[in-house]
Amino acid sequence: MTAPGLAGRVALITGSSRGIGRAIALAFAAEGCSVVVNYRRSREEAEAVAREIEVGGPGRCMVFRADVSREEEAAALVEAAAARFGRLDILVNNAAIAGRREFLDITPADWQDMIASDLTSVFLCSRAALPHMLRAGWGRIINIASTSGMTGGTSGAHYAAAKGGVISLTRSMGREFASRGVTVNAIVPSKIETGMLDASFEDSAQKEAARKKMPVGRFGTPGEIAALAVFLASEPAGYITGETIVASGGY
């Protein structure tokens, strides 16, 4: 354990059956947190994450299926977490979808799906979690955005708009709840070695060309994003709120 103030906390990480979310769930568990693993489709992968966490101590993890883009399911997820562990201290809004599209190929349905999954979910989960944090006078909300939300990116205007919305929402929430013991920050990754990254390339040659453009000479790892999330949730980060922290390898 390296992050002061996290042992005994309860952390809920949306979309934590794989990729960045999985790494964050495992990192919080390693710091002594009880962890809620959320998934929408990947039940077996979510249960595998839970088994790995439970090795460090039985009863420290629960798995809960919810589509966090839906109000009722997001609320049910948060309430189940609070009921199981008696509190909810940390929320990491990680669940998201991606899908490269040219602007004129984006249908209204594509737009609605992206905004719901990548932006509305952050609002819904935060709205459900905040009352628990405010009653306790302490909380951490960490939103996983993307450099596409700052630069426009290459994955499509719908994705950029959703992630840009997450960044703006973070700033607004950070300001509003700063005086009440809750910090809200965004982590903005770029080119992290996950299945979502692999799916964004047509072939290995295209992926290698992208890697060569990275100033640090490689893609990031989920563990590096997880370490940043752990820091933002720790006591030493209590003066940081409403911020957008870029982890892009200089890209």
What pLDDT does 199 receive? 73
Catalytic (active site) residue 239 = no
Residue 112, pLDDT > 80, answer yes
What pLDDT does 147 receive? 94
Residue 106, phi then psi, degrees to nearest 5: -80, 120
What pLDDT does 205 receive? 84
**For 175-196, what is the mean pLDDT?**
93
Residue 60, pLDDT > 90, answer yes
Q: Which pTM does this prediction carry?
A: 0.95
Residue 61 pairs in a beta bridge with: 35
Residue 198, pLDDT > 80, answer no
Using H for helix, E for strand and C for coil, what is the string for the chain? Answer: CCCCCCCCCEEEECCCCCHHHHHHHHHHHHCCCEEEEEECCCHHHHHHHHHHHHCCCCCCEEEEECCCCCHHHHHHHHHHHHHHHCCCCEEEECCCCCCCCCHHHCCHHHHHHHHHHHHHHHHHHHHHHHHHHHHHCCEEEEEECCCHHHHCCCCCHHHHHHHHHHHHHHHHHHHHHHHHCEEEEEEEECCECCHHHHHCCCCHHHHHHHHHCCCCCCCECHHHHHHHHHHHHCHHHCCCCCCEEEECCCC
Question: Band of the pLDDT at 68, cuts 50, 70, 90?
Answer: very high
Segment among 34-38, 119-123, 201-205, 225-229 with least mean pLDDT: 201-205
Structure-model confidence comparison of residues 211 and 84, the more confident one: 84
Residue 242, pLDDT > 80, answer yes
Catalogue all structural domains in the chain, each as residue range(s) with its CATH number.
10-247 (3.40.50.720)
Residue 202, pLDDT > 80, answer no
d(CA 96, CA 94): 6
| Catalytic residue of the set 39, 159, 239, 251 | 159
Segment among 28-37, 108-117, 190-199 with least mean pLDDT: 190-199
Instruction: Dump pLDDT digits (tens) for 148-166.
Output: 999 998 889 999 999 999 9
What pLDDT does 1 receive? 60
Residue 6, pLDDT > 90, answer yes
